Amino acid sequence: MSPARLVVLASGGGRTLENLADQIAAGRLPARIEQVLVSRPDAGAVERAQRLRLACTVAGPQTHPDRAQRERLWTSLLLQARPDWVVLAGWLQLLPIPPALEGRVINIHPALLPAYGGPGCYGRRVHEMVLRDRPSISGCSVHFAGAEYDRGPLILQEAVPVLPGDDPDTLAARVFAAETRALPEALRLLIQGRVRYQHGAAPWR
């Protein structure tokens, strides 16, 4: 079976991108990253993509202020890459999903959705919100992306404890460690056909 074709979208440092590249290089993920799309020219993901020798395009509000123009560019790049899966790896823009890619776009979120999701819920902000409420657990979620932020059928979640004395940085580190396991596992399930997008749901096989 040929490796699954991935397009990875990022807005930040690119740690999730590098984790996927490491998983692929180690033979633990039967995939190939065809294209990286970064929404900010100053994002660390640009340097990481270059270091990993991955094709990388920067297109976001700073480089393409006209929203309609940049969304057309995103769609064009995605369709040209012919991906099996599109991975939102710390991507902070709302992505219009072309009909041809419905059910093929997944997102990783640093909380146990549906809690702590939606517009403005990303990065450190999520962990600050969690710590204000002090639940006993937090974690990460991998889900199919849709027309709204952090909405869409769940593929899998991994929980981590919220410990006494946690601050946003310590909790973020624990959640990110879970993300490095959960996202590759979700992709393996999708590539193997054990989870499928079906009528707005994600049934397991």
Tell me the catalytic residues. Answer: 109
Q: How far apart are CA 176 and CA 118, in angstroms?
A: 19
Distances (CA, A) of 27 to 18, 23, 183, 188: 14, 6, 15, 12
Distances (CA, A) of 138 to 58, 175, 185: 32, 7, 19
Distances (CA, A) of 185 to 24, 32, 58, 117, 178: 12, 15, 28, 21, 11
Q: Tokens 């027309």 appear where?
A: 147
Find the distance separating the first CA and the last CA of the chain, reported in whole Å: 19
Q: Strand 137-144 relative to strand 105-109: parallel, antiparallel, unpaired?
A: antiparallel
